[in-house]
């Protein structure tokens, strides 16, 4: 029987992977200009890390995480009231086992550790920052990461269950300059990829001083329109009223059209901070729009939040998103250290690159076409010599006609072709053909490495 991949989990094949490599290489380059250093964090973390940071009432924690117990629990020791095996999962994701000894008498024994495939990277980076006590040496850390994330969402174009993020987190700075630096970094990165399409929307979610008041005003507004909201928003209106502003259901969009704006409720400090971010964006010529309805799907945000969206990808329009999370380090057991960051979706970014045809489609720098056994031996040893010298070279191993080798060079999108037969070997020179211009020029075979480097063949 054929074994297939899991729904929402994709292979990335040659032909597509080049776009991924380009994105990753550009990210490393641009991030290093901004002095961000790479951090590699585990894919698996304790469930509690995500429920405490992303938030219990978010879609991610409520229904999208891949969570499982670390090890099997012996079924003979765990009896529920009815006498069958019972495992109760608490909201925070730890598994408690309820043991019924007699009618009316129950108690819990500690359950197995609950683990979750990371649905995002921020929580793990903050955990690592706290656990390693990085902040004791130097609280200001600029870190970036790339890798797979997992959310059990309904798969569709641009939405996967295993997807990939490249993210950056700046810890230890609360000033608006670093918020702007993060936005500039993203702006430069998208520009380095030749992408002009994604546009930036920003908002401020206020802080512990001003958000509760806004939350209360919004809650009163929503209570009056509760009947118009979708089931999901009705259910969490008391615990998380802001989410109704971000809901994509038509009823919720309509009901919240005239909702009070958070920007009007910002305290003095938050307003100053947000105004400075906007001023700096103007000064650095980064185009943006204000979107006071943007609340983000993760609970840890405060002050600046942002999304880069595109109209080219249908409903999955967010290419990159992020914001400030000043309470998160403390919430996860560290000192009161602020943070701000973003993550971009690599699947969506590479889709955009393909749509905008910004991908260099090319194969090996040089393809050696050989005619006759002697030329094959020469080609084989030369191939290895050139590869060791850092050139990207390919050849055919089996004897084929020159025409068929040329066809293959074309198919592989080789940049240039060297045609070598016995005559060329005797003569000590051969024709180097540029596949795009079809121009040919003779090169010295005894000095081939230097000749190819001089002609920038690679």
Tokens standing for residue 20 = 């991924």
- 348 in contact with ligand HAM (CB under 6 A): yes
Nearer to ligand HAM, 237 or 321 (CB): 321
Residues from 161 through 200 that contact ligand HAM (CB under 6 A): 163, 165, 167, 169
Q: Least CB distance from residue 348 to ligand HAM, whole Å?
A: 5
Nearer to ligand HAM, 94 or 165 (CB): 165
3-state helix, strand, coil in the chain (%, to 5): 40, 25, 40
Nearer to ligand HAM, 262 or 452 (CB): 262
Q: Is 438 exposed, middle or buried (0-12, 13-18, 19+ CB in 10 A)?
A: exposed
* Residue of the chain from 343, 375, 379, 430 that contacts ligand HAM (CB under 6 A): 343
Q: Least CB distance from residue 323 to ligand HAM, whole Å?
A: 6
Of the listed pieces 17-25, 106-114, 117-125, 268-276, which binds ligand HAM according to CB under 6 A? 117-125
Nearer to ligand HAM, 27 or 457 (CB): 27
Nearer to ligand HAM, 189 or 367 (CB): 189
User: CA–CA distance from 128 to each of 45, 174, 233, 255, 339 (Å)?
Assistant: 11, 20, 34, 42, 14
Q: Least CB distance from residue 125 to ligand HAM, whole Å?
A: 8
Tokens standing for residue 193 = 């990829």
CB 301 within 8 A of CB 341: no
Q: How far apart are CA 268 and CA 157, in angstroms?
A: 42
The string of DSSP letters for 238-255 reads TT-TTHHHH--SHHHHHH
Of the listed pieces 105-113, 140-148, 317-325, 429-437, which binds ligand HAM according to CB under 6 A? 317-325
Of 223, 205, 235, nearest in space to 63 by CA: 235
Of the listed pieces 40-48, 152-160, 251-259, 399-407, which binds ligand HAM according to CB under 6 A? 152-160
DSSP, collapsed to helix, strand or coil, labels residue 115 as strand
Length of the chain: 458
* Residue of the chain from 176, 292, 341, 364 that contacts ligand HAM (CB under 6 A): 341
Q: How many residues bind ligand HAM (CB under 6 A)?
A: 26
Nearer to ligand HAM, 120 or 451 (CB): 120
Q: How far apart are CA 217 and CA 372, in angstroms?
A: 84
Q: How far apart are CA 267 and CA 243, in angstroms?
A: 21
Q: Least CB distance from residue 378 to ligand HAM, whole Å?
A: 49
Q: Is 188 exposed, middle or buried (0-12, 13-18, 19+ CB in 10 A)?
A: middle
- 228 in contact with ligand HAM (CB under 6 A): no
- 320 in contact with ligand HAM (CB under 6 A): yes
Write out the E strands in 294-439.
Answer: 302-309, 318-324, 339-345, 366-370, 393-395, 416-420, 429-434
- 418 in contact with ligand HAM (CB under 6 A): no
- 203 in contact with ligand HAM (CB under 6 A): no
Angle at 349 between CA 344 and CA 351, to 5 degrees: 150
* Residue of the chain from 93, 111, 198, 345 that contacts ligand HAM (CB under 6 A): 345
Q: Least CB distance from residue 158 to ligand HAM, whole Å?
A: 6
CB 222 within 8 A of CB 229: yes
Of the listed pieces 214-222, 285-293, 339-347, 360-368, which binds ligand HAM according to CB under 6 A? 339-347
Residues from 28 through 87 that contact ligand HAM (CB under 6 A): none
Residues that bind ligand HAM (CB under 6 A): 120-122, 151, 153, 159-160, 163, 165, 167, 169, 297-298, 318-323, 341-345, 347-348
């Amino acid at each position: 029987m054929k074994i297939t991949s899991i729904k929402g989990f994709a292979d990335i094949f040659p032909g597509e992977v080049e776009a991924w490599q380009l994105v990753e290489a550009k990210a490393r380059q641009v991030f290093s200009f901004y002095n961000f250093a790479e951090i590699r964090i585990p894919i698996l973390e304790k469930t509690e890390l995500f429920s405490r940071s992303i938030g219990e009432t978010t879609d991610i924690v409520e229904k999208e995480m891949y969570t499982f117990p670390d090890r099997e629990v012996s079924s003979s020791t765990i009896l529920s009231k009815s006498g069958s095996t019972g495992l109760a999962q608490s909201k925070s994701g730890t598994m408690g086992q309820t043991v019924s000894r007699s009618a009316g008498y129950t108690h819990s024994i500690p359950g197995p550790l609950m683990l979750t495939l990371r649905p995002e990277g921020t929580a793990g980076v903050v955990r690592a920052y706290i656990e390693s006590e990085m902040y004791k040496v130097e609280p200001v850390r600029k870190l970036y990461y790339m890798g797979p994330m997992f959310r059990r969402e309904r798969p569709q174009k641009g939405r996967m269950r295993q997807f990939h993020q490249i993210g950056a987190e700046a810890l230890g700075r609360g000033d608006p300059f670093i918020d702007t630096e993060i936005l500039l970094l993203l702006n430069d990165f998208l520009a380095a990829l030749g992408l002009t399409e994604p546009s930036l929307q920003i908002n401020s979610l206020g802080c512990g001083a001003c958000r509760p008041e806004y939350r209360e005003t919004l809650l009163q507004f929503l209570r009056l329109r509760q009947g118009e909201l979708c089931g999901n928003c009705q259910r969490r209106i008391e615990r998380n009223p802001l989410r109704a502003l971000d809901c994509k259901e038509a009823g919720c969009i309509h009901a919240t059209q005239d909702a009070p704006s958070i920007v009007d409720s910002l305290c003095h400090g938050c307003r100053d901070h947000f105004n400075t971010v906007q001023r700096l964006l103007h000064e650095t010529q980064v185009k943006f729009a204000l979107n006071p309805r943007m609340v983000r799907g993760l609970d840890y945000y405060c002050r600046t939040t942002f999304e880069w969206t595109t109209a080219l990808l249908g409903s999955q329009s967010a290419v990159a998103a992020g914001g400030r999370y000043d309470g998160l380090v403390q919430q996860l057991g560290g000192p009161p250290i602020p943070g701000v960051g973003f993550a971009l979706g690599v699947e969506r970014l590479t889709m955009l690159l393909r749509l905008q045809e910004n991908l260099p489609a090319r194969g090996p720098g040089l393809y050696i076409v050989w005619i006759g056994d002697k030329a094959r031996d020469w080609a084989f040893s030369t191939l290895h010599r050139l590869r060791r010298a850092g050139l990207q070279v390919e050849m055919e191993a089996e004897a084929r006609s020159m025409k068929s080798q040329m066809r293959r060079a074309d198919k592989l999108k080789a940049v240039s072709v060297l045609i070598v037969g016995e005559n060329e070997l005797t003569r000590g020179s051969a024709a180097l053909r540029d596949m795009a211009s079809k121009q040919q020029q003779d090169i010295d075979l005894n000095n081939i490495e230097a000749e190819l480097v001089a002609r920038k063949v690679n």
